[in-house]
Amino acid sequence: MSETNFHFETDGEGFAIITWDMPGRSMNLISLAAMEELAEAVERVASDESIKGAIITSAKKDFTGGADITMLASLFGAYEEKFAADEKAARAELLGQSSRLSRIFRRLETCGKPFVAAVKGTSMGGGTELMLACHGRVVADKGTKIGLPEVKIGIFPGAGGTQRVMRMVDAQAGLQFLLQGRTLDAAKAKAMGLVDEVVAEEDLLACAREMLRGGLSPVKPWDEEKYRLKGPAAIFTPAGFQFWPAANALYRKETQDNYPAARLIMQSVFEGLQLPMDQALDVESRYFAKVLTTKEARAMIRSLFVSLQELNKGARRPEGVPPTQFSKIGVIGAGFMGAGIAYVSARAGMEVVLIDREMEAAEKGKAHCESLLAKEVERGRMSEAAAGEVLARIHTTTEYSALAEAELVIEAVFENRQVKADVTQGVANHLGENGIMASNTSTLPITSLAEAYREPAEFVGIHFFSPVDKMLLVEVILGEKTGEKALAVALDYVRAIRKTPIVVNDSRGFYANRCVTAYLLEGHLMLTEGVPAAMIENAGKMAGMPVGPLSLNDEVGLDLGWKIVQATEADLGPEAVSAEQKALLEELVERRQRFGRKNGKGFYDYEGREKRLWPGLADIAAPRNAEKFDIAELKQRLLVTQALEAARTVEEGVITDPREADLGSILGFGFAPFTGGTLSYIDFMGVGAFVKLAEKLAEKHGPRFKPNKLLREMAKKGETFYGRFGADESKAA
């Protein structure tokens, strides 16, 4: 047999040690070659009478990252043409290929010899399914991470995962594990029943041998004749009757039925549990082949896996600029954002100089970091000693001289042009020659802020989202004169703090906030049309947004919305704002003093953690009968308006790469992830169909829905965003 990915050896006791060590990669992946080698290794164990049992382990730091997702994506890509020619035959062929891993694992499980998985580090997806197919599992006590994260990229564990998990652990815990895609550490996996033993890493093999010596059965419980499912997993029992209707309701609440992968997990589990294992695995395989052909899987794999990796690896980084290692950075303004920036930087190992006007303000910012660290310690995510070290890296001061050595300084002072100009000049006087200056402004053009700096080419926008410690996206904003070094330093920094950067050209509102503003506006207009507030909120969630537009506006602050409307009108004239929205916000903010969650009064009333839609809304915008509105159209309006705004940013050159628009929309403001993002939403619908839909909405609801010139042109030519602007045309929808 070939031993490129797996080394096969037998010891004196007749145990085979199968060691996974993919050549040329830091992480083992399940590739086509690895699959075939594993199949051969299983046959060798099964057929060699001198081999009594086998241990599967890894020579690398981790067990495996799971299936090679790009292989999966191309697997489907290759079937596109075949589908067009002969759909039935193509589906049969796809099923054959996509169920291959499942059949190998089943053969391992039933070959008559016991297998033990000895696992350390990360084990994801197919790797976890391999563990579950083994007859015994031992994992390292430290650093083990076990997960089936497939659902997060629109697919599901199709190599026995849905069937074995549900037969091994409590039904509720099992469903949650499958549907949420969360990672478990060793202790949690053991408590759940997914692993048998937890030992120190150096004892893994000894423990695995001990299990084999102890007479580990090569027959799984579910392959025993008298096997009976327990608890709610036995569907047609009183426990099952209680469990499954509630589980279905929960599934609907969490997913709004937008995710075929989640739905197919439910189906696979529910139907599989009523069958013997072999048929159950067939059911799972069929649903797995089906999920691979959904547009949601393709969109999510493309954005949330392929593009995410590419952008994180620096797809937009200018070549030729040497990478920056950050030892010290400066943050000016220790308010809400500045403190968050100091926190994430110190956590990434950087020394941080945190400056404010008064020492007291700077200390307040540091205290905020301390409370964030305390929460991490409380949740067991960090030791007290490690938290202490992070805090000790944050140095508060009012003196700019402390910035001399910094590689990067980010200002997060008040959103005021003069204040920012003064700060920028202060930095220019003290920052060493190699340092780069950045602004976290959310509304002021970078090009004009850069004029206050000694060298505009060394000035860049680094736009964080709030709260900084949680939000994964950062917009890197290029002013007209921003140079390559400033861009490279900004991108290196964003990676160092483990967030995802998108590169945006300077413009009003940049990218993410423009799209969000469109979402909020649509919610406001629906309210003034008489759509009941609860219906607007539900339409938002049903469309796939994390929260309805009214809730979101309460979080951001209605007063901020009101300020933006006023500023837009002042800068661009009355045509640039909606009269209905202006009247609504003026009434709420100016006359009713409702600012949002911050003062406990917005579209909702807040009491502690409870919130309720404010009954007084009815006086401001009388609701009409909900039956008058078409919920499907409300949902469309909420997504289409954001996608149109994204298309405008492309036409204006604000966004130049569709991957950034898509990922920026999902990570920045939670745009319906199942669509793959704002532009994938359009691409997968088809630009022509999208243009027709937008035109229909424009006729009914106003010119804000008019498709722009770019979209109309693309529709005429039958183009897609990824085809026209994409880095790789073969990945076009």
Angle at 261 between CA 36 and CA 310, to 5 degrees: 70
- Binders of ligand NAD among residues 159 to 218 (CB under 6 A) are none
d(Cα 139, Cα 205) in Å, to the nearest integer? 10
Q: Which of 413, 450, 666, 733 is the binder for ligand NAD (CB under 6 A)? A: 413
Number of residues forming the site for ligand NAD (CB under 6 A)? 23
Q: Do 78 and 136 contact (CB within 8 A), yes or no?
A: no
Q: Taking contact as CB under 6 A, which single stretch among the options 162-170, 206-214, 438-446, 673-681 is the one that binds ligand NAD?
A: 438-446
CB of 217 to ligand NAD, least distance (A): 58
Cβ closest to ligand NAD, residue 32 vs residue 404: 404
Q: Which of 198, 300, 311, 337 binds ligand NAD (CB under 6 A)?
A: 337
Angstrom distance (rounded) from CA 179 to CA 162: 10
- Determine if 424 is a binding residue for ligand NAD (CB under 6 A): no
Instruction: List b or e across 191-201, with b for residues whose CB sees 16 or more CB atoms inside 10 angstroms.
Output: ebebbbbbbeb
By CB under 6 A, tell whether 472 contacts ligand NAD. no
Q: Give residues with Cβ within 8 angstroms of 89, minimum separation 6.
A: 82
Q: Based on DSSP, count helices (H) and strands (E) in the chain, helices before strands.
A: 32, 19
Identify the CA nearest to 504 among candidates 450, 561, 553, 460.
Answer: 460
Closer of 342 and 533 to ligand NAD (Cβ)? 342
641 lies in the site for ligand NAD, by CB under 6 A:
no
Closest to 303 in 3D by CA, of 678, 687, 686: 678
CB of 168 to ligand NAD, least distance (A): 44
Residue 556 is encoded by which pair of tokens?
A: 């951001």
Q: How far is it, in rounded angstroms, from Cα 678 to Cα 707?
A: 14
Which C-beta is closer to ligand NAD: that of 151 or that of 406? 406
Nearest-Å Rg of the Cα atoms of the chain is: 28
Site string for ligand NAD, 314-333 (x = CB under 6 A): ------------------xx
Among 134, 299, 412, 450, binds ligand NAD (CB under 6 A): 412
Tokens of 254: 């969490």
Single out the residue of 16, 7, 6 nearest to residue 209, CA to CA: 16
Alpha helix segments (H runs only) across 379-509: 384-392, 417-430, 446-450, 484-496
Q: In one letter, which amino acid is 609? A: R
Binding flag, residue 553, ligand NAD (CB under 6 A): no
Binding of ligand NAD by 452 (CB under 6 A): no
Instruction: Report in angstroms how near the CB of residue 697 gets to ligand NAD at its nearest.
Output: 30
Report 243-272 residues binding ligand NAD (CB under 6 A).
none
Site residues for ligand NAD, 603-622, by CB under 6 A, read: none
Task: Pick the piece of the chain touching ligand NAD (CB under 6 A) from 87-95, 434-442, 616-624, 713-721.
Answer: 434-442
**Which residue of 269, 334, 521, 687 would you call a contact of ligand NAD, by CB under 6 A?**
334
Tell me if 329 sits within 8 A of 409, measured CB to CB. yes
Tokens representing 143 are: 């650093």
Nearest C-alpha neighbor of 64 from the set 16, 15, 108, 129: 129
Residues annotated as part of the active site: 463
Per rule CB under 6 A, is residue 460 in the interface with ligand NAD?
A: no
| Alpha carbon distance 292, 69 (integer Å) | 11
CB of 298 to ligand NAD, least distance (A): 33
**Contact status: 227 vs ligand NAD (CB under 6 A):** no
Determine, following the binding rule CB under 6 A, whether residue 367 of this chain makes contact with ligand NAD. Answer: no
Q: Which of 210, 35, 177 is nearest to 107 (CA)?
A: 35
Q: Which stretch binds ligand NAD (CB under 6 A): 123-131, 250-258, 313-321, 418-426?
A: 418-426
- Using CB under 6 A as the binding rule, the residues of this chain from 279 to 318 that contact ligand NAD are none
Stretch of residues binding ligand NAD (CB under 6 A), selected from 26-34, 39-47, 435-443, 697-705: 435-443
Please report, as a single letter, which amino acid is at residue 207. Answer: C
Residues in contact with ligand NAD by CB under 6 A are: 332-338, 355-357, 361, 412-415, 419, 422-423, 440-442, 464, 466
